[in-house]
């Protein structure tokens, strides 16, 4: 078989496996011819042995195609059934993609969200044309309209940035109405207009027999018919392309017409008459793009309030026009024109100087605001730290009080069963007294003033200031100098100067009630004098410790210890003990009429 083949390989023709057989051996190879080469020297024959296999393969391929068609038909039917949901999903994806695109553009332009209004007010600081910003070179402009004026006339040299300023205003207005952030400083205010008309550029047409002037006028005529108070009109080179006198007159009439219809108008021009016209008309204002006379180049900065100069002669000198031509041109200028140009130049320089000062003050103001914000943040942190410290101290104090209340409750239980205080209980009471949080110090001006005793009456609820005990007055002495109190069933007389009125009181806890009862009991039963005559030193010291504990609980401020004169050892031992006692504020020998050297007055701290 190999000698009959043109090449030792097989190929596929019309989906059938064939051998490249030489034409002269056609009769020696049995099979079906499916194709031949372009030269006719090779025939592509399907061997007879493969015909039946090829037929079977074609049948299987046809079955496969039918199955694929069925699967695709089922899938298409399923998709068609979900078309509304798919359409909603696509719409959501479109909206998300648009939102992300706007966010990306806002990041690229370093843009901020504007404040929108319907009052025709536009006020933008550091506005930038988006395309120039993306190209990397742009001079921001400050712009406003609709507050003090409704028509703005921009003048200045060619290539000075008048048209760019016009386009920036229109483009930022449309961007705001499309929901885009603006490439401007934060706080930009833009109005929403129903119509935005613009006539910018030279659209002369040979096919339509339109000159520059005719093209502008055809557009402006349509604007004049449709303008209203919700319209922003942008006009570039108003009145150009025709006789200067007639062009200026027509421009004045157009601006007046649009202003009377309530439209907001921004236009650029080179006509000096329009500068003077804007100075005289109410709600009109001049603006200019600055020109650097030293470098003879524009600065592209927009200044509102000053009319600009065309600087045609300066630009011509920069472009190489001979000096004698420029001198002759200056001689041809009217005298009043020269004076006006000089005045405008002076005003421009003063305005530039004022602008520099304004920028410097703005920089200083921002620095002060930054420092103020830093100080406020520091103050806020200090307040938070103070609150945190107070909260921690309060929690610690509450925890300590809860712990002391538990220990005091245990001691009270023991006191109920033992009429006499053992030494360990007295020592524990001293420890609890020392652990109590100190009372807040009172300012000097908060000294307790004498109480008008006439305010107390029988049945009134009062508090004993130095004991913290609350009771009800059941009787008053003559002159109301003393009051008899009922405290939990016990009655005692108290000097009225120690009392203070209280309002609605919250019920006392069992422990507080028990403590108050014990203090009143001690107050009633504990004297203010202790007789130590005839006692040994150790007995006297133990008696003094118990007496001082009882006096503290009773609220006594001054007590007297009678120890006698004798050899002075007992007195000295008592004085040494008093010096170490934590609740003895001071002590001294009693006056002669109260015992002299035979007795000692002890002054106690009645508050923890």
Element at 518 (helix H, strand E): helix 510-525
* Angstrom distance (rounded) from CA 100 to CA 427: 77
* Angstrom distance (rounded) from CA 93 to CA 454: 84
Alpha-helical (H) ranges within 261-334 are 272-280, 312-318, 323-332
Kindly state the DSSP code that residue 504 receives in the 8-state scheme.
S
With beta carbons less than 8 A apart as the criterion, state whether 154 and 308 touch. yes
* Angstrom distance (rounded) from CA 185 to CA 128: 9
Greatest pairwise CA separation for the chain in angstroms: 164
* Angstrom distance (rounded) from CA 248 to CA 593: 118
Element at 341 (helix H, strand E): helix 335-417
Q: What is the pLDDT of residues 391-424, one digit of tens each?
A: 888 888 778 777 776 776 676 666 556 554 555 5
| Position with higher pLDDT, 562 vs 528 | 562
pLDDT band at 597 (very low <50, low <70, confident <90, very high): confident
Domains of the chain: 2-79 (no CATH), 112-323 (3.40.50.300), 455-525 (2.30.30.390), 529-604 (3.30.1370.110)
What does the DSSP assignment read for 431-470? HHHHHSPPPPPPPGGGPPPPP-GGG--TT-EEEETTTTEE
> What is the pLDDT averaged over residues 465-489?
74
With beta carbons less than 8 A apart as the criterion, state whether 64 and 71 touch. no
* Angstrom distance (rounded) from CA 401 to CA 437: 8
Q: What is the pLDDT of residues 24-51, one digit of tens each?
A: 888 888 888 888 888 888 888 888 888 8
Q: What is the pLDDT of residues 161-217, one digit of tens each?
A: 888 999 999 999 999 999 999 999 999 999 999 999 999 875 544 444 456 778 788
| Position with higher pLDDT, 266 vs 279 | 266
* Angstrom distance (rounded) from CA 526 to CA 538: 22
The dihedral over CA atoms of 515, 516, 521, 526, expressed in degrees to the nearest 10, equals: 80
With beta carbons less than 8 A apart as the criterion, state whether 471 and 464 touch. yes
pLDDT band at 439 (very low <50, low <70, confident <90, very high): very low
* Angstrom distance (rounded) from CA 148 to CA 131: 30
> What is the pLDDT averaged over residues 118-145?
90
pLDDT band at 362 (very low <50, low <70, confident <90, very high): confident
Query: What is the SS3 assignment for 116?
Result: strand
Q: What is the pLDDT of residues 288-311, one digit of tens each?
A: 887 766 666 777 888 888 777 666
Q: Give percent helix, percent strand, percent coil of the chain, each to the nearest 5.
A: 50, 20, 30
> What is the pLDDT averaged over residues 503-516?
57
Is a pLDDT exceeding 90 seen at residue 5? no
Q: How far is CA 258 from CA 145, 194, 321, in A?
A: 15, 15, 40
pTM assigned to the model: 0.48
* Angstrom distance (rounded) from CA 214 to CA 206: 12
pLDDT band at 442 (very low <50, low <70, confident <90, very high): very low
With beta carbons less than 8 A apart as the criterion, state whether 18 and 32 touch. no
């Amino acid at each position: 078989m190999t000698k009959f083949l043109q090449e030792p390989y097989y190929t596929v023709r019309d989906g059938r496996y064939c051998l490249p057989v030489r034409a002269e051996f056609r009769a020696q190879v049995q099979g079906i011819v499916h194709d031949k080469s372009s030269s006719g020297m090779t025939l592509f024959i399907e061997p007879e042995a493969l015909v039946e296999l090829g037929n079977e393969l074609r049948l299987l391929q046809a079955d496969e195609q039918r199955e694929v068609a069925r699967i695709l038909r089922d899938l298409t039917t399923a998709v068609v059934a979900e078309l509304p949901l798919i359409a909603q999903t696509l719409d959501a994806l479109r909206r998300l993609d648009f939102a992300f695109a706007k966010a990306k553009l806002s990041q690229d332009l370093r843009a901020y969200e504007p404040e929108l209004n319907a009052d025709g007010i536009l006020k933008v600081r550091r506005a930038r044309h988006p395309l120039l910003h993306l190209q990397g070179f742009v001079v921001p402009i400050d712009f406003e309209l609709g507050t003090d004026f409704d028509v703005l006339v921009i003048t200045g040299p060619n290539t000075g940035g008048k048209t760019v300023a016009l386009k920036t205003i229109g483009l930022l207005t449309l961007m705001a109405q499309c929901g885009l952030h603006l490439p401007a400083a934060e706080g930009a205010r833009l109005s929403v207009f129903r119509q935005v008309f613009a006539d910018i550029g030279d659209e002369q047409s040979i096919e339509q027999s339109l000159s520059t002037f005719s093209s502008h006028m055809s557009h402006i005529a349509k604007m004049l018919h449709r303008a209203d108070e919700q319209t922003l009109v942008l006009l570039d080179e108003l009145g150009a392309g025709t006789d200067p006198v007639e062009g200026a007159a027509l421009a004045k009439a157009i601006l007046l017409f649009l202003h009377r219809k309530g439209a907001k108008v921004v236009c650029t021009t080179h006509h000096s008459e329009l500068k003077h016209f804007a100075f005289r008309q109410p709600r009109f204002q001049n603006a200019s793009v600055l020109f650097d006379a030293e470098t003879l180049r524009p600065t592209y900065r927009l200044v509102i309030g000053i009319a600009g100069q065309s600087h045609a002669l300066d630009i011509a000198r920069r472009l190489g026009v001979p000096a004698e031509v420029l001198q002759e041109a200056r001689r041809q200028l009217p005298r009043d024109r020269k004076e006006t140009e000089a005045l405008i130049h002076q005003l421009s320089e003063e305005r530039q100087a004022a602008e520099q000062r304004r920028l410097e003050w703005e920089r200083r103001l921002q620095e002060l605001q930054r420092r103020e914000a830093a100080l406020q943040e520091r103050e806020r942190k200090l307040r938070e730290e103070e609150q945190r410290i107070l909260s921690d101290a309060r929690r610690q104090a509450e925890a300590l009080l809860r712990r002391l209340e538990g220990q005091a409750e245990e001691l009270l239980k023991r006191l109920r069963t033992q009429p006499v205080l053992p030494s360990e209980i007295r020592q524990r009471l001293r420890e609890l007294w020392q652990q109590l949080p100190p009372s807040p110090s009172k300012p000097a001006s908060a000294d307790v003033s004498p109480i008008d005793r006439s305010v107390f009456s029988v049945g009134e609820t009062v508090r004993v200031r130095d004991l913290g005990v609350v009771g009800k007055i059941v009787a008053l002495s003559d002159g109301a100098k003393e009051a008899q109190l009922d405290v939990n069933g016990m009655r005692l007389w108290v000097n009225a100067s120690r009392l203070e009125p209280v309002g609605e009181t919250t019920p006392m806890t069992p422990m507080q009630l028990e403590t108050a009862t014990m203090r009143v009991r001690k107050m009633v039963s504990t004297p203010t004098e202790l007789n130590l005559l005839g006692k040994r030193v150790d007995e006297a010291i133990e008696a003094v410790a118990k007496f001082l504990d009882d006096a503290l609980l009773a609220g006594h401020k001054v007590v007297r210890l009678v120890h006698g004169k004798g050899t002075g050892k007992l007195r000295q031992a008592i004085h040494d003990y008093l010096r170490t006692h934590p609740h003895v504020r001071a002590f001294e020998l009693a006056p002669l009429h109260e015992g002299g050297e035979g007795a000692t007055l002890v002054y106690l701290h009645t508050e923890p």
